Structure 1
């Protein structure tokens, strides 16, 4: 008789040392990916600067340039169209994976594509984004670098024999490292990985992501410089309780703004899908709207990092702030809805900052401080990532003293967003492809509940000395497909199933043969009352058995059985914990 050896080790032995070793290997790989992603961030920003100089100033240079400083007359309309047309051609004849702002595509690759991204995407995504942004597209570099860094991690992982979960870890490590390389925000990049990309919180995934981010952050000063990307002088207003309360209220307003922007974006996208022209031409149509917006106010062109700095400094006139709030929103929504290549973080920072700066005209304190609060709120509301939004802006500016207020704004925006929007601006795009994603994490009850909580106690058993003739007759009227076979002391010998009875009947086995003899070569999985239910479910999958006997670890007597149906009881327990509401004091143990 073959029983599973040591099916449930003691608690002190539950640690998976092979998983520990894999984590160390992944951490080592992540350090290389972090360095490569930092280089990718530098390359992307260099390409954007080169494209900006070529399109707007007609020169070969990688020096920082702003389209708003160019004086090209009516060509301000033609340049975005030309750049967008190139992007459309690249998507049509290169890879349509470069369309969009990058983060939804990364999420989709993680959840539905086994974290596999192609070399073509790794090359074309930064190139198309540089052309799009450099020609005046109202986007940021963060979405493209998340996709590009993710592709670097995925391609590296595909060079080795790794599982899909391990590839996901390295993909996300590359994405987070790329974001750190662009913005110099290591903690926010880690939080973005946790809130948006990983869909888990495990040492195997968290440690490599942190390693990649720290390596990228360490390499950034040598490539792009050190210090906050947007330092400014304004400090929080004196009374923190007042500032936090006002930030919470402003955050709720920003949650409404986030919901409106998300709704409008997908309405625009629907309008493009109704056009009687191939999608290759849509970015050019979006580019035309961008050019017309540039005629109204050139500040709406390009990534707009200078606008973010000016909002924080309080250096923009009210007219320009209004233009950023309205015109920038229109050109960004139309351009992004057209399917061109570019990110959402920088535009959201501008739109949230503009609304915050307007509120700062009537709220106490400097307008730049309220622009900062607006940026935190809009990111939280639009992306459903409140911790990322709150921390990202303080790392961008170096104003960690504003963290209580950014957390308040992020919480207010997040609460309103959840109430009025079914999905975030990131996951709505995926949902429209029929793939619905829930951005809520909870502990899997299968991992902490034990078998004894849901097993069927004292199950019906079959005696080991029962003749198989009697067993065949028993299974013709049995309620279940299988039953434990036990010896005279109730100790588990095997599991007899209806398929066993059918096999004996067809083969003409001797009816006087006992069950113990007929099943002497069977390998039987088993579990103990303290076994986590998740491990029992794994045993079912590994053995193909729908019922697992539960035995006492000391006596090996059968004390219960756990079936697939019993696993569904766990869902009932979870739903009851969520929905049953009652008053009363907790029972006193032993009382």
Structure 2
């Protein structure tokens, strides 16, 4: 016998006690424990990188052996030192990239993202050594870059290498890679909160306890270890009261617009430079040296534009920088940074963005009302970060932790959010993702709740299904299908048929292909019970569509019987891959279909002839 009786919805109660806000398993604690040594090593590497930068800078520009971070443009060097040092540094980096690893080229974050999304979070061991060394050479010889991009890649390489020695999943390797990246960044700037936010906004591509807890653990460990080595104070302390008026808050939006435009121009310059270098009739190994020529010429014009420039950033934020230097930094630093970065040299983007954004704000401080020391530089700095990196939370928190100016949080949110909005509207990709796109890959940085996680199988499953009694023959089963009314399209397309006993007790499933094969091979009289799969993959009506889709993918099936959670032998329906798309359909409908829900009804005097009108 066969049955096509629908199953009443009331027979399928929904119990959601098995679901929770987050999925956390004891494995999370294991990975968090592994993140502790990763964070510690990343902190030591960050310290070593800063010391190496200082050593090279002192040796070349001051002719002394010292590891303190100094500005390369402050030694009153001969013009040929300023010009030739970046060129020689570029030559060394080109050789290291060609004969060591091409992964050391660039500012680090796109490479980290690519390793996460496309490389199974596996980083070559040589990158962990060559990246910090090449970056120290680039910055130490006058390159206008920051140390954060290289330490992000280096810290990530440490986490990845540590994970590769263990038996871990790709997701767990990703977590340790990001833990190392964020830990290195926190140790470099003493900005643990911003490092965690950068991991969440840019590197993890998820918001789950399984990744957040280990990353936060590594960041905390790295920050604690940093304090005795590099200090515990803010990097750019700013003092003085702020007097923020409503007009100033309005002008913060203007600052955000200008910062967003500057971010767009900087991003376009980087990749215009990259396109220009690709057209050169020379091997890419020589490009960093050519970029070094640009850096050297810029250094001859504005020596303060060379190097990391922490001293200049500090001057911008405390208001002690001259207007002439502000204009010089804004123009020269932007040009030499973007053009030389396009050459494929090794260096980061955050410190240059600090300086360029600070210069923009310092210039605006001569136009806008006086609010307090470094106020406009701080707002513009956060705005440029929000626009360049498309990470407004990170931009705001970075600026807060770098300066300790928590009384400027609202203005910075206004500036960073405005810049982020403008950059998102006018530019498809950021400086961090354009390189990945140019290699033929695409990633989205939008996060929302998966609609398949919201809806349940019971809301989309088919209840009016065709099932077979276990003693029905294969020939009879096929005859039932061919005799189904044409109007019952879903039944005719069912393709997977539960085999039941006593009405709704499932004993297996059989496919139409199995039935046709049995008839074709002369086994038409075999009962379907002998043909069926006796241990089918099943789901429950109170299971989310996402979990069901995952089960389908893991078991390579596109249809599953739905059984009662309390009684796994009781059949309640059938769900297919096509039905799971209903969750997506509802999501699209909510995003695209407009409707007017409420209407305003206005009461009118009775002598108008009507009491009210819509």
Q: TM > 0.5 between the two?
A: yes
- Report which stretch shifted further, 457-466 or 177-186: 457-466
Conservation of the 8 A alpha-carbon contact between 1:150 and 1:173: yes
- Residue 500 in 1 paired to residue 506 in 2? no
Q: Which residue of 2 aligns with 1:563?
A: 576
Q: Distance in 2 between matches of 1:47 and 1:104?
A: 24
Are positions 1:537 and 2:569 aligned together?
A: no
Q: How does 1:465-476 map to 2 (within 5 A)?
A: 465-473=471-479
Q: How far apart are residue 15 of structure 1 and its match?
A: 6.7
Per the TM alignment, residue 14 of structure 1 is displaced from its structure 2 partner at its CA by 4.6
| Contact 1:360/1:367 (<8 A) preserved | no
Q: Secondary structure at the match of 2:539?
A: coil
Equivalent position SS for 1:456: coil
* Counterpart residue number, 2:527: 514
2:460 to 433, 454, 469: 454
Task: Determine which of 545, 568, 580 is the counterpart of 2:593.
Answer: 580
Q: Secondary structure at the match of 1:266?
A: helix
Q: How do 1:344-423 residues align onto structure 2 when only pairs under 5 Å count?
A: 344-364=349-369, 365-366=371-372, 368-423=374-429
**Helix, strand or coil for the counterpart of 1:162?**
coil
Distance in 2 separating the partners of 1:345 and 1:553: 53
Secondary structure of residue in 1 paired with 2:503 = coil
Q: CA deviation at 1:462?
A: 2.5
- 8 Å contact 1:526–1:548 — kept in the other structure? yes
State the distance in 1 between where 2:554 and 2:346 align.
Answer: 44
In the alignment, the residues of structure 2 paired with residue 304 and residue 498 of structure 1 have an alpha-carbon distance, to the nearest angstrom, of: 71
Which of the residues 256, 260, 278 maps onto 2:261?
Answer: 256
CA deviations over 1:401-453 (Å, ceiling 9, x no partner): 11111111111111111111111111111111111111110111122210122
Specify the alignment match of 1:84 in structure 2: 90
Q: Secondary structure, in 3 states, of the residue corresponding to 1:535?
A: helix
CA distance in 1, matches of 2:150, 2:49: 8
Q: Is the 8 A contact 2:386 2:392 kept in 1?
A: yes
Could you tell me whether the CA contact under 8 Å between 1:84 and 1:287 is conserved in 2? yes
* C-alpha spacing 1:9/1:165, structure 2 compared with 1 (3 Å): farther
The partner residue of 1:489 within 503, 507, 515 is: 503
1:4 corresponds in structure 2 to: none
Contact 2:470 2:499 in 1 (8 A): yes
Counterpart-to-counterpart distance in 2, 1:554 and 1:296? 78
How far does the alpha carbon of each residue in 1:49-70 deviate from its partner, in whole angstroms, 9 at most, with x for none? Answer: 0110122122222123211112
**Deviation digits for residues 75-108 of structure 1 (CA, Å, limit 9, x no counterpart):** 2111110111101110011000000000010001
Partners of 1:416 and 1:470 lie apart in 2 by 66
Q: Distance in 1 between matches of 2:21 and 2:418?
A: 41
> SS in structure 2 opposite 1:67?
coil
Aligned to 1:293: 298
d(CA) in 1 for partners of 2:467, 2:496: 9
Alpha-carbon separation, structure 2, partners of 1:403 and 1:514? 74
Does 1:231 pair with 2:237?
yes
Distance 1:49 1:413 in 2: 34
* Distance in 1 separating the partners of 2:308 and 2:128: 21
The CA deviation string for residues 6-31 of structure 1, in whole angstroms up to 9 with x for no partner, is xx996444579995211000110111
Match of 2:140 among 117, 122, 134: 134
User: What is the aligned partner in structure 2 of residue 276 from structure 1?
Assistant: 281
- Say if 2:30 is the partner of 1:25: yes
Does the Cα contact within 8 Å between 2:72 and 2:306 map onto a contact in 1?
yes
Is the alpha carbon distance of 1:584 and 1:126 closer, same or farther for their aligned partners in structure 2, counting shifts above 3 Å? Answer: same
Deviation, structure 1 residue 109 = 0.4
- Kept in 1, the 8 Å contact 2:14–2:542? The answer is no
Q: CA deviation at 1:119?
A: 1.1
8 Å contact from structure 1 (residues 458, 559) kept in 2: no
Equivalent residue, structure 1, for 2:430: 424
Structure of greater Rg = 2
Match of 2:307 in 1: 302
Aligned to 1:178: 184
Q: Residues of 2 paired with 1:331 and 1:23: CA distance?
A: 44
- 2:386/2:417 contact within 8 Å kept: yes
Cα contact 1:356–1:367 (8 A) shared by 2: no
Whole-Å Cα distance in 1 between the matches of residues 527 and 519 of structure 2?
Answer: 14
The alignment status of 1:113 with 2:119, answered yes or no, reads: yes
For structure 1, list consecutive stretches of 5 or more residues without a partner in the other structure: 1-7, 587-591
Q: CA deviation at 1:198?
A: 0.3
Shift of 1:74: 2.0
Q: Contact between 2:452 and 2:584, CA under 8 Å: does it hold in 1?
A: no
The corresponding residue for 1:589 is none
Runs of 5+ in structure 2 lacking a partner?
A: 1-12, 484-491, 600-614
Tell me the CA shift for residue 391 of structure 1. Answer: 0.7
Q: CA deviation at 1:475?
A: 6.2
The answer to whether the 8 A contact 2:159-2:179 is kept is yes
**Contact map agreement 1:359 1:370 (CA 8 A) in 2:** yes
TM-score for both structures, normalised by structure 1? 0.94
Aligned twin of 1:53: 58
Quick check: 1:458–1:558 contact (8 Å CA) kept in 2?
A: no
Which range moved further: 521-530 or 343-352?
Answer: 521-530
1:20 is paired with a residue whose SS is coil
Q: 1-side partners of 2:338 and 2:20: how far apart?
A: 49
Contact 1:359 1:367 in 2 (8 A): no
CA contact (8 A) 2:23 2:209 kept: no
Between 306-315 and 494-503, the greater mean CA deviation after superposition: 494-503
- Show the counterpart of 1:528: 540
Residues 475 and 501 in structure 1, CA contact (< 8 A), matched pair in contact too:
no
Deviations 1:358-380 (A, max 9, x none): 11112122461110111100000
| CA distances 1:100-136 after superposition (whole Å, capped 9, x unpaired) | 0000100010000110111100000000000000000
Aligned to 1:5: none
The question of whether the paired residues in 2 share the 8 Å contact of 1:380 and 1:388 is answered with: yes
2:451 and 2:261 mapped to 1: Cα distance? 35
